[in-house]
Amino acid sequence: MPDSLRAAIRDVIDFPQPGIVFKDITPILADGKLFHKAIGLLCETLGGARIDKVAGIDARGFIFASAVADRLGVGFVPIRKKGKLPWKTRQTAYALEYGEAIVELHEDAVTPGESVLLVDDLLATGGTAAAAVKLLDELGANLIGISFLIELSFLGGRSKLKPHPVHSILIF
């Protein structure tokens, strides 16, 4: 089935800017069987470990992380772009190709020692995921692993997430 997931991903040339080949996951989302399988494979990355919460990164990561949390019967923690969370937050900045961005997490989203799986749709350079890891670490989360549907291995993002275990369903 990972081959059917791979076949469903659409390459969009020059999006969002020239020279980028965007991996469009919307065909997977539109196919109930493929979406179900993708969520199942992300759940399997835990290898049977017990977790308390699944954290997801704004925005496409929310789709996968919330479904994984529901499937596992645990809570969901949103890690959002700056200014989108309504309560007290912690925030951290990370580098973009041209500038920087900020992600936030509610201060009470995770209590110290809670076991958390971080889920996102895609690992590219690793900047956003590393910022999310930093926030979870600051709250005292026991980060069991970081799982992605897609990894663009040629961009080397995995190296920014050490020493945490990284699992990717599809590697390009």
pTM, full prediction = 0.95
Q: Are 130 and 101 contacting, i.e. CB atoms less than 8 angstroms apart?
A: no
153-164 pLDDT tens trace = 999 999 999 999
Is 60 in the active site? yes
Q: Are 24 and 89 contacting, i.e. CB atoms less than 8 angstroms apart?
A: no
**Candidate list 10, 90, 97, 138, residue with the active-site label:** 97
The Cα 140–Cα 110 span in angstroms is 8
Q: Residue 24 is which amino acid?
A: D
Asked whether residue 79 is assigned to any structural domain, the reply reads yes
**Candidate list 6, 60, 71, 90, residue with the active-site label:** 60
The Cα 114–Cα 50 span in angstroms is 10
Asked whether residue 4 is assigned to any structural domain, the reply reads no
Is 107 in the active site? no
CATH code of the domain covering residue 76: 3.40.50.2020
Asked whether residue 14 is assigned to any structural domain, the reply reads no
Counting the structural domains of the chain, the total is 1
75-112 pLDDT tens trace = 999 999 999 999 999 999 998 766 789 999 999 999 99
Domain that holds residue 145: 48-171
